[in-house]
Amino acid sequence: MQVIFNPSFPSRLAHMLLAAFITTGLVVGAASAFHVLKDRARGIKTEGWSESRISLVMAIGLVAVLAPMQLVVGHWSGEVTHKYQPSKTAALEGYWETRADQPLHLFGIPDREAQKNHFQVSIPGVGNWIQNLPRDEVITGLDAYPREDQPPPFIPFFGFRIMVGLGLLMIGLGAWGAWLIWRRRVFDSPWFLRFCVAMGPSGFIAVLAGWMVTEVGRQPWVVYGVLRTRDAVSPVITSQVATSLLAYVVVYSIVFTAGALFILRLMAEGPVAARTEPAPRGQRPPGTPMAKAPGDTSPDDDDTPDGHDGLRGAAS
């Protein structure tokens, strides 16, 4: 229970739930913006609020509210990490030296062997401020740990920057969209609509990058400071691992491919108004829900001039 409900549980749970909602909103917004753009390209002038327009405004509203909240919750999660997993903080920030008044490293290539960053681009004196700490407070660097206790810094360092960079773009998307809605120009801005489409997969990328930061950054520990990863490995032979891995790859390749194709088809089709079954006309024989009831002389739905298109026309 202590492992599950650890000090990072509340902030991580909130961070992941917000990420899931934002990711969904971005996909809905991208699909909706795509159809608004397609209507513009075809010269279709939509009067009023179509399904695509409604869902686009809803998605923009969600992102405009939740993306700034995610920034606050992410900062909260970072403070918890700094307190309980300082080596992870050092890895994702690229801190090799234990010192006060740490800089903010915008870019660099961490080198575990050389114990430094190559091609480093930094802003002096901002690192402590980002961590919500006084400038004279010492922040632990990776040099405070033996090499066997240091996480591999490359993946956490770049994963963190990908996640934060995409998060800032999401905040920008929400703010821009909210401003356009206020000005009643959201459907007339092709550049914004293209931006929405481009940001469609960004939520998935940010989630994956964030989990890379979390899982690689805690290495070499399964339970931080208590149980090492190498000590938690199950006594399973290589062939068994390879067989189970291959089975997972095959099954998930089929499932994910089918699911992705299905979702892409839904996105290409666009929102469709709900279709309702025709009201029953008396007692129908079992197994023939669309057939006439005995003694019913009224015309079938299929007897309309357009055949089954009668239902389609009614739905439209």
pLDDT tens string 174-217 = 999 999 999 999 998 999 999 999 999 999 999 999 999 999 99
Q: Considering the domain boundaries, does residue 228 fall inside one?
A: yes
Other CB atoms within 10 Å distance of the CB of residue 163: 22
Question: Is 242 in the same domain as 258?
Answer: yes
Total domains present in the chain: 2
Q: Considering the domain boundaries, does residue 41 fall inside one?
A: yes
- Statement: residue 314 has pLDDT above 50: no
Q: Considering the domain boundaries, does residue 253 fall inside one?
A: yes
Q: Considering the domain boundaries, does residue 301 fall inside one?
A: no
**Overall residue count recorded for the chain in this entry:** 316
Q: What is the reported pLDDT for 209?
A: 96
What whole-number percentage of the chain has pLDDT above 90? 63
Question: Is 184 in the same domain as 240?
Answer: no
pLDDT tens string 14-27 = 999 999 999 999 99
pLDDT-derived band at 76 (thresholds 50, 70, 90) equals: very high
The residue range of the domain holding 264 is: 235-270
Cis peptide before 220 (omega within 30 of 0): yes
Nearest to 79 by CA among 118, 28, 130: 130
Spatial distance between the Cα atoms of 244 and 262, rounded to a whole number of angstroms: 27
Q: What is the reported pLDDT for 194?
A: 95
Q: What is the reported pLDDT for 46?
A: 64
Place of tokens 């509203």: 61
Question: Is 80 in the same domain as 185?
Answer: yes
Nearest to 229 by CA among 240, 244, 218, 238: 218
Q: Considering the domain boundaries, does residue 169 fall inside one?
A: yes
Q: What is the reported pLDDT for 66?
A: 97
- Statement: residue 283 has pLDDT above 80: no
As a whole number of Å, the CA-based R_g of the chain is 27
Nearest to 35 by CA among 50, 48, 21: 50
Q: Considering the domain boundaries, does residue 102 fall inside one?
A: no
Q: Considering the domain boundaries, does residue 127 fall inside one?
A: no
Question: Is 89 in the same domain as 167?
Answer: yes
Listed in sequence order, the residues at least 6 apart from 299 whose beta carbon sits closer than 8 Å to its beta carbon are none
pLDDT tens string 258-272 = 998 998 888 888 766
Q: Residue 244's Cα: distance from chain center in Å?
A: 28
What residue type is 119 in one-letter code? F
Q: Considering the domain boundaries, does residue 208 fall inside one?
A: yes
Secondary structure class of 161 (helix, strand, coil): helix
Spatial distance between the Cα atoms of 211 and 202, rounded to a whole number of angstroms: 14
Question: Is 77 in the same domain as 22?
Answer: yes
Question: Is 221 in the same domain as 241?
Answer: no
pLDDT tens string 124-176 = 988 888 888 888 889 999 999 999 999 999 999 999 999 999 999 999 999 99
Mean pLDDT of the chain: 85
pLDDT-derived band at 40 (thresholds 50, 70, 90) equals: confident
Cβ atoms of residues 176 and 195 within 8 Å: yes
Q: What is the reported pLDDT for 47?
A: 64
Question: Is 196 in the same domain as 254?
Answer: no
> What's the token pair of residue 58?
């809803």
